[in-house]
């Protein structure tokens, strides 16, 4: 098995989804090319980008499944991680990606076009400036969770447009912030990514979920 295929073979939700894997692999190639011009990811990560970044984000598909028409915001998208991956995994959902760096969002917009992702949009803007609401806000180590809650809590509506209730889904490393612990706010669902991949390099990394009610009470 070639290294790229092997990287994606570790993600259970991709079993039998050849077109999905093909698009994810193509995205990896686009990221490599774009990173030569715009610093989307650390150069040292490029050799293993399919596994350490794309497959890592695709593990979300074994944690969360949105319903048809669900609106998802990727906040602090950078090079489209996890937003582009979500748009490929979830053709039934609408993905909006936000980042304050215009060069990065221009690249993400080009990825959307190259991959023919009709369900995705790139915004050179902060989510707080966007007119409209979402069912879920997703982030990947953008900032401390209390700050992330402040960014998105007025942009999320109540409900359950997937297997998880509407709210925040976050790729997190390390312990929960003391501000959340003292407020009694803990994830109501989580996935340990070291256990999922069987890889000590992901020690302490998790996907966590918080419902809208937690954001509003914090």
Distance CA 65, CA 57 (A): 14
Residue 41 is predicted with a pLDDT of 67
pLDDT exceeding 70 applies to what percent of the chain?
96
Quick check: 1 pLDDT over 60? no
Residue 214 is predicted with a pLDDT of 94
Give the model's confidence band at 43: pLDDT under 50 very low, under 70 low, under 90 confident, else very high.
low
Name 208's bridge partners.
Answer: 170, 190
CB 120 within 8 A of CB 83: yes
Quick check: 172 pLDDT over 90? yes
- 11: helix, coil or strand? coil
Report, as an integer, the average pLDDT of 138-150: 93
- 112: helix, coil or strand? helix
Burial zone of 188 (CB within 10 Å; 0-12 exposed, 13-18 middle, 19+ buried):
middle
> What is the distance, to the nearest Å, from the Cα of residue 123 to the centroid of all Cα atoms in its chain?
15
Measured CA distances, 118 to 66, 72, 93, 94 (Å): 17, 14, 10, 9
> Over the stretch 108-121, which tens digit does the pLDDT of each residue have?
999 999 999 999 99
Compute how many other C-beta atoms are within 10 angstroms of the C-beta atom of residue 55.
Answer: 24
Quick check: 194 pLDDT over 60? yes
What CATH fold (topology level) applies to the domain 65-217? Answer: Rossmann fold (3.40.50)
DSSP state of 108: H
Radius of gyration of the chain (CA): 16
**This prediction's pTM:** 0.95
Residue 218 is predicted with a pLDDT of 85
Quick check: 86 pLDDT over 80? yes
Residue ranges of domains in the chain: 65-217
What sign does the CA torsion over 191, 196, 200, 202 have?
negative
């Amino acid at each position: 098995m070639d290294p790229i295929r092997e990287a994606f073979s570790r993600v259970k939700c991709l079993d039998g989804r050849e077109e999905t894997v093909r698009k994810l692999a193509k995205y990896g190639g686009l990221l490599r090319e774009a990173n030569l011009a715009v610093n989307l990811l650390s150069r040292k990560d490029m050799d293993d980008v399919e596994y350490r970044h794309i497959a890592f984000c695709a593990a979300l598909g074994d944690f969360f499944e949105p319903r048809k028409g669900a609106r998802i915001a990727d906040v602090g998208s950078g090079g489209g991680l996890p937003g582009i991956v979500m748009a490929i995994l979830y053709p039934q959902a609408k993905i909006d990606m936000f980042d304050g760096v215009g060069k990065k969002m221009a690249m993400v917009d080009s990825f959307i076009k190259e991959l023919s992702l009709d369900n995705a949009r790139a915004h050179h803007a902060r989510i707080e400036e966007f007119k409209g609401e979402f069912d879920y806000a997703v982030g990947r180590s953008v900032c401390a969770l209390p700050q992330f809650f402040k960014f998105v809590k007025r942009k999320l509506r109540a409900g359950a447009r997937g297997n998880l209730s509407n709210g925040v889904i976050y790729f997190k490393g390390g312990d929960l912030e003391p501000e959340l612990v003292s407020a009694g706010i803990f994830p109501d669902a989580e996935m340990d990514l070291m256990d999922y991949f069987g890889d000590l390099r992901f020690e302490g990394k998790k996907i966590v979920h918080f419902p809208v009610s937690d954001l509003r009470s914090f």
